Structure 1
Amino acid sequence: MKIPFNTLDRQFYSNQIEYEKKALEVLRKGWYILGPEVKCFEEEFAKYLNISHVVGVDNGLNAIVMAIRALGIKEGDEVIVQANTYIASVMGITMNGAIPIFIEPDEYYNIDVEKIEEKITNRTKAILVVHLYGQAANMDEILKLCKKYSLKLIEDCAQSHGAKYNNKMVGTFGTGCFSFYPSKNLGCFGDGGAISTNSEKLDRNFRVLRNYGSEKRYYNELVGYNSRLDELQAGLLRVKLSHINELEEERERIAKKYLEEIKNPLIQLPKIRENCTHVWHLFVIRIKDREKFQEYLEENEIGSVIHYPIPPHLSEAYRYLGYKKGDFPITEEYAETVLSLPLYNGMLKEEIDYVIEKINKYRG
């Protein structure tokens, strides 16, 4: 039996008629940029999040770039971010000329809140929280630090659509940045993203920034971006958003089965923090001899992916920051031991059982 790490077509086929109907509807309207589909999606996603404003943009990276810029973070300012995140989180900081200040992760793969305060300086302007792999971070302590030091709060929610902390959606504590890359839990059929906020001022700023720095055509207030969510992707996202609860429930069922039935002392299963929900964008295990285990999975035709093999501080792109191996040992250990197992909408029971069976038989 061949099990891919991920496959997107099954989710499409489960609601094929709705997707195709919406695609034709948008195409036949002849309005493809910043039209009614984007407006409706923004309103519907805002209602889903329980927040005042959502602004559709072209991808998650640009959502972070624009959020940091609109919040007034400038060259030389410091932004705290966890060290084990995907590099796009860090790029959103440095593309504004700001400096990332890395913090080690906790046992849940999110930022270790106990290690933040010691890194705060008079140059610190914001905390960028990443709700990694689909689980909400420990927001109470982060909110306290933001209040104590007058820091801006940005949330990277690229992997966590629908995750909650104390029953409150991620992306609603500060300025939320979302990716709708196709593999995301709420993914479109190309690139897409959004920014969420309760601030009317920021909402307007984001709308101006995404459209060449212009609210009215040819009247440019500032140097902005061409960073708009298009009508077709917005329409298709509306279809998927209408099914988001059932899609999340399906992923949770698969994850629960993994958690209950994978019983191998060589495998460290993911943990869920109290008061947090996990939407299982990724099911990430840890194993010491990862390469050998991954080869074993390949021999049994089970796909897997490493998220992420090179931490940002050790990447070639950020060599100029001057970090070296050993500077963030927990992050580096995770990079050498984490492995994501297959988990996707439309995954069959026999496929799930096969993955569990083969993992339980592994002896190293």
Structure 2
Amino acid sequence: MQFIDLKAQYRKLKSDVDARIQAVLDHGQFILGQEVAELESRLAARTGSKYCISCASGTDALLLAMMAFGISPGDEVVTSPFTFFATGEMIALLGAVPVFVDIDPETYNIDPAKIEAAITPHTKAIMPVSLYGQCADMDPINEIAAKHGLAVIEDAAQSFGGTYKGRESCNLSTIGCTSFFPSKPLGCYGDGGALFTNEDDLARKMIELRNHGQNGRYHHVSIGINGRLDTLQAAILLAKVDIFDDELAARQRAAATYCEQLSDIVRTPIIRDGYTSAWAQYTVEVDDRGTVQQALQQAGIPTAVHYPVPLHLQPVFARLNLKEGGFPHSERAGKRVLSLPMHPYLEPAQIEMIAQAVRQAVAGVTTVTK
């Protein structure tokens, strides 16, 4: 059994993907070819954003967004400690300081009620993470940012396709950033990402920054990066965009079945009213995770843990002097979360088998505990 079955997806899309790739091989425009512009147009239209700027990875998207705002050494960016390392990494790479705020224990996303206390005169931006596919609570975050004159950058690496109060993830703040890493709900066959904004000046800056700061050939107006999305990856994504809504619906069905079969024995995901999740992961909470995970492995069920060590406890951030116990909800989640197989090609019988194995594993832990 596959944790994420990309092979099944390719079998379904083989003719379209192969044709798209062959078209790129035929025209030979491997950098910023016509497929890149086509993809950006389609994704902008999907989110309702004025601009989509594709880039080389979700990590680069975060970097480019902060560079566009001029975030520099000594600045502070408020974010969540319960996320993939790239969120804090890109802040630190610019010499800025990640300022962590604990999560809402129900959604695993940053708790808006705790943000304002973390803002200082050095704060330049808030970077909420839309984890596991569900958007962060963006309205109060945007209100806080407006009050203090701050930018908001949504780290939507896992939530492209999710919605918040009828609006699409990536079009909920000043800039939305997403990833097209292969395992994401919309993924390519390598690294890829995109930025979304409605502001003309920011879009211009990000287009320049992703291509060495150029606003014309060999005319550099800023220090940028080589952050372009490969044409081949854009072509692959174009084939996948055509079935993306169908795949999102299949993820919803799989998640609903999981919840139905597991909610009485583990803590299943809580999706708030007015939200839809893209279900990048299906993540439960369990006691004695190591034992449960081992039992599932023995039953042939692959699992993953996203993320066992919150950012404030990572060795590289020891200089921030943040101690264990400072962000209790993030730390508790890191010890308890367990992600089960999730992709659009899960068969009902597979979900039934996984759920049964989870029930047996959890029951075994409960019996030993008693």
Equivalent-residue separation in structure 1 for 2:251 and 2:120 (angstroms) = 41
Aligned-CA RMSD value: 1.1
The answer to whether structure 1 residue 223 and structure 2 residue 223 are counterparts is yes
What amino acid is the match of 2:233?
Q
Paired residue for 2:66?
A: 68
CA contact (8 A) 1:263 1:360 kept: no
1:10/1:345 contact within 8 Å kept: no
Distance 2:201 2:4 in 1: 39
Deviation of residue 72 (structure 1)? 2.1
In 2, Cα distance between the equivalents of 1:7 and 1:308? 21
1:206 aligns with 2:206: yes
Q: Distance in 1 between matches of 2:332 and 2:284?
A: 13
4+ runs of 1 displaced by more than 3 Å?
Answer: none
The aligned residue for residue 252 of structure 2 is 252
- Indicate the residue corresponding to 1:80 in structure 2: 78
TM-superposed deviation, 1:287: 0.8
Aligned residues of 1:268 and 1:285 also touching (Cα < 8 A)? yes
Deviation for aligned residue 1:215: 2.2
Q: Contact (CA 8 Å) 1:264, 1:360: kept in 2 or not?
A: no
Matches within 5 A, 1:103-252: 103-106=101-104, 107-174=106-173, 175-252=175-252
Q: What's the % identity of the aligned pairs?
A: 37
In the TM superposition, what is the alpha-carbon distance from 1:248 to its structure 2 partner? 0.3
- Whether contact under 8 Å (1:290, 1:336) holds in the other structure is yes
Q: Work out the CA distance in 1 between the residues paired with 2:124 and 2:273.
A: 29
Give distance in 1, aligned partners of 2:85 and 2:195. Answer: 19
- How far apart are 1:291 and its partner, in Å? 0.4
> Within 1, Cα distance between the matches of 2:253 and 2:27?
39
Which residue of 1 is the match for residue 29 of structure 2?
A: 31
- Cα distance in 1 between the residues matched to 2:50 and 2:242: 19
- Does the 8 A contact of 1:137 with 1:276 survive in 2? no
Cα distance in 1 for residues equivalent to 2:146 and 2:214: 33
- Structure 1 Cα separation of the partners of residues 4 and 240 of structure 2: 17
Q: Deviations along 1:225-253, whole A, 9 cap, x unmatched? A: 01100111011111111111001001110
Deviates more, 1:310-319 or 1:252-261: 310-319
Structure 2 match to 1:319? 318
Does 2:328 align with 1:336? no
Q: Distance in 2 between matches of 1:129 and 1:329?
A: 18
Question: 1:264·1:359 contact (CA, 8 Å) conserved in 2?
Answer: no
Task: Work out the CA distance in 2 between the residues paired with 1:300 and 1:45.
Answer: 40
Q: 1:133, 1:282 within 8 Å by CA — same for their partners in 2?
A: yes
Identify unmatched segments of 5+ residues in structure 1: none
Displacement after TM superposition at 1:148 (Å):
1.1
Deviation at 1:147, TM superposition (A): 1.3
**Aligned pairs (5 A) from 1:260-299:** 260-265=260-265, 267-299=266-298
SS at match of 1:15: helix
The residue aligned with 2:368 is none
Q: Deviations over 1:127-183 (max 9, x none)?
A: 101100000111121111011111101011100011111101111122011110000
> Residue 8 of structure 1: which of 3, 6, 17 is its match?
6
Q: Following TM superposition, by how much is the alpha carbon of 1:361 offset from its aligned partner in structure 2, in angstroms?
A: 2.6
User: Are 2:344 and 1:345 equivalent residues in the alignment?
Assistant: yes
Letter in structure 1 aligned against 2:319: Y
Q: What's the CA shift string for 1:258-315, capped at 9, x where partnerless?
A: 01112543x1111011221111100010012100100110110100000011111111
How many residue pairs match? The answer is 361
Aligned equivalents of 1:159, 1:51: Cα separation in 2: 18
Distance 1:63 1:262 in 2: 36
